[in-house]
Amino acid sequence: MTRSGGLLATALCAALLLAVAPNATAQLAGEVTILADDDLKPVTMARTVPESFEIGLDGRVFFAIQTSAAGYTAAERARIVNMRIVHIISYADLGPSAVRIVAIRGKPTIYVDRVRLVTVYPNDVEAAGAGCMWQLAEEWAASLVEGLPAVAPWHSIIGEM
């Protein structure tokens, strides 16, 4: 990356941080919590664990989890996020403003409706080759905005009416 390209990426990341920094709480009011505590980690007993876990449904990939973070292995993170995706497509409002990024403990966290889906960490950025946490969170969120309505079961029913 050139020096001017690196400065541009740094400026973009700083602008994204400033845009969401005022809402830096540990939890949103009315948040739906699905497997958020250390004592509720999903058991992963595979003999061979892949290095990357695609998060998506029905052949549509939203993003990939490739690293451990916050005391969870990549496999544990992927299982939790997949469970949350199932809850989201079953119960959450998927309207135009349903997907948003909120700063939780200084890190970009993607919510869909009231469900905390995933937090982006520095090692996610490194593994994805992205510019910064906020840029990667924006990419993941954009993929969700486009993809979630297409895989929601009620979407096909409404489309037929």
Who contacts 38 (Cβ-Cβ below 8 Å, separation ≥6)?
A: 71
DSSP string, 79-122: HHHHHHHHHHHHHS--STTSEEEEEETTEEEEEETTEEEEE--H
- Its domain, for residue 88, covers 3-160
User: What's the pTM value of the predicted model, to 2 decimals?
Assistant: 0.72
User: pLDDT per residue over 80-132, tens digit each?
Assistant: 999 999 999 988 888 879 999 999 999 999 999 999 999 999 999 999 999 99
In the chain the first and final C-alpha atoms are separated, in Å, by 50
Q: For the chain, give me the number of helices (H) and strands (E)?
A: 5, 5
So what's the pLDDT on residue 132?
96
Number of domains in the chain: 1
User: pLDDT per residue over 59-83, tens digit each?
Assistant: 999 999 999 999 999 999 999 999 9
The three-state secondary structure class of 157 is: helix
What is the rounded distance in angstroms from the CA atom of residue 54 to the CA atom of residue 65?
6
What is the rounded distance in angstroms from the CA atom of residue 132 to the CA atom of residue 139?
11
Rg, C-alpha atoms of the chain = 16
User: pLDDT per residue over 29-57, tens digit each?
Assistant: 667 666 555 555 555 565 666 789 999 99
Q: Kindly state the average pLDDT of the residues 2-27.
A: 48
